Amino acid sequence: MARDVSDSTPIASKSELIGWIAAGEKPRSAFRIGTEHEKFPFYRADIGAVPYDGRGAAGGIRHLLEGMQQRLGWEPIIDDGHIIGLAGPEGGGAISLEPGGQFELSGAPVETLHETAAELAAHLADVKAVAEPHGIGFLALGHSPLWTREQTPVMPKGRYRIMANYMPKVGTRGLDMMFRTCTVQVNLDFADEADMVKKLRVSIALQPIATALFASSPFTEGKLNGFQSVRSEIWRDTDNARSGMLPFVFDEGMSYEGYVDWALDVPMYFVKRGPVYHDVTGASFRDLLAGRLPQLPGEHATMSDWANHLSTLFPEVRLKRFLEMRGADAGPPALLNALPAFWVGLLYDQVALDSAWDLVKVWSTEDRQGLRDAVPAAGLSATVAGRSVREIAQQVLELSRAGLARRARLNGKGQDETRFLDPVLAIAESGRSLAQDLADRYRGEWHERVEPVFKDLLI
């Protein structure tokens, strides 16, 4: 997650909150693709987790950030004297830390998937060059396969201390989500309110399909955990007040205001004033808007408070000034590139979007929730409305492929963007996710050990 927003403009009414989101509308010619992905750093010598300040003579997360700053020239993001991220020039991406040291690239908004792939390749080359002298490698899976929560480091970020204290009060898996999961997501634009609503409905309904296709987290603490995406399962009991499938999105008359009304009542985590994070857990944004927040009497909401609050909501698809697809496990580079391709093909081509809506609009609230609940364990074998997820995935991937072909964005070799779907097309064709392949290797050639995954999937 990138640095928190700083905008002290006061907010006087709910209409301004709605207007803040609506300001994200763009003409279709200005639609962009922003890809975010996380990965676990580890010491290659003993597969140990990497603390912020390092271990003994070995460098740590801080050294990686300092090295990347020197290499890229990006602006450091500081929290209470600690470097906790880097901001690229002119909004051109950011590097940040998740609570357990997961190293994240929030990519720049780009026009094509070719640029997304080039950005990923450049980033991985940079972090490899900086990490190798410290004996550090990176693994991208949906869940940390080996370390216990106690073995997982804690990053020095003020907002994470507040979240870590609050999570056990609202669910059983929040700390696992914070410290032991990694995801890949893509952020996409909308043209107007109607376009936003259709994209939000389609992407929420199909998010479990993406979960099944990109599942990569069958291991916990060195053992099989019984799931293909334990990351997705963890979200089912993290904090249900701020996560899930958002049934109200499918109500007649859904609008920007509908999302704002929901967000206003989701309990807040913090209010940031200057460099200080004030713990206001449990209070609503409505109280802050009215100037009656119990923890900060007389304090009134600002635009940065609203933007920061929206960043602490975790539904399967998140609305800010763009839409964030949040359903996929992290994975190897080919899958990191496939995730934005999957959604760009569906949502940035009108024919594909309309066809996808025709597919999912007949699903009931119970259908969607049943699918969401089944997929973490069953993956492509799950069913919804009498059809298998595998069958639906094949249909949706064909819609996406056709959408990318119609976009006709070519690279210097004359290739279009459809090639980025190849890894998930193969998964849908075989009916076997990366998680299932890893589980087979665990039972077979790895002799019931997960340590080999750090070598075989090193990125």
For residues 390-407, give the mean pLDDT.
Answer: 98
Predicted model pTM: 0.97
- pLDDT, greater one: 9 or 182: 182
Radius of gyration (Cα) for the chain, nearest Å?
Answer: 21
Residue type, 265: D
- Residue 6: the pLDDT is 64
Calpha distance 446→451 (Å, rounded)? 8
The tens digit of pLDDT for each residue in 208-235 reads 999 999 999 999 999 999 999 999 999 9
Is the pLDDT at 195 greater than 70? The verdict is yes
The tens digit of pLDDT for each residue in 131-177 reads 999 999 999 999 999 999 999 999 999 999 999 999 999 999 999 99
Is the pLDDT at 4 greater than 80? The verdict is no
- Residue 5: the pLDDT is 59
- Residue 2: the pLDDT is 44
What's the CATH code, domain 14-449?
A: 3.30.590.20
Torsion of CA 237, 241, 243, 247, to 10 degrees: 120
For residues 63-74, give the mean pLDDT.
Answer: 98
Mark 235-260 as b/e (b = at least 16 C-beta within 10 Å): beebbeebbbbbeebbeeebebbbbb
- Residue 7: the pLDDT is 79
For residues 46-57, give the mean pLDDT.
Answer: 96
Calpha distance 16→13 (Å, rounded)? 6
> What percent of the chain shows pLDDT beyond 90?
96
The tens digit of pLDDT for each residue in 413-453 reads 999 999 999 999 999 999 999 999 999 999 999 999 999 99
The single-letter DSSP state of residue 47 is T
- Tell me what percent of the chain is helix, strand and coil, each rounded to the nearest 5: 45, 20, 35
Is the pLDDT at 13 greater than 90? The verdict is yes
> What percent of the chain shows pLDDT beyond 70?
99
For residues 390-400, give the mean pLDDT.
Answer: 98
Calpha distance 353→195 (Å, rounded)? 10
The single-letter DSSP state of residue 191 is S
Q: How confident is the model at residue 1 (pLDDT cuts 50, 70, 90)?
A: very low
Is the pLDDT at 100 greater than 90? The verdict is yes
Average pLDDT over all residues of the chain: 97
Is the pLDDT at 321 greater than 50? The verdict is yes
| Contact indicator for 40, 29 with CB cutoff of 8 Å | no
Is the pLDDT at 178 greater than 70? The verdict is yes
- How do the domains of the chain map onto residue ranges? 14-449
Side-chain-facing half-sphere of 43: CA atoms under 13 Å? 18
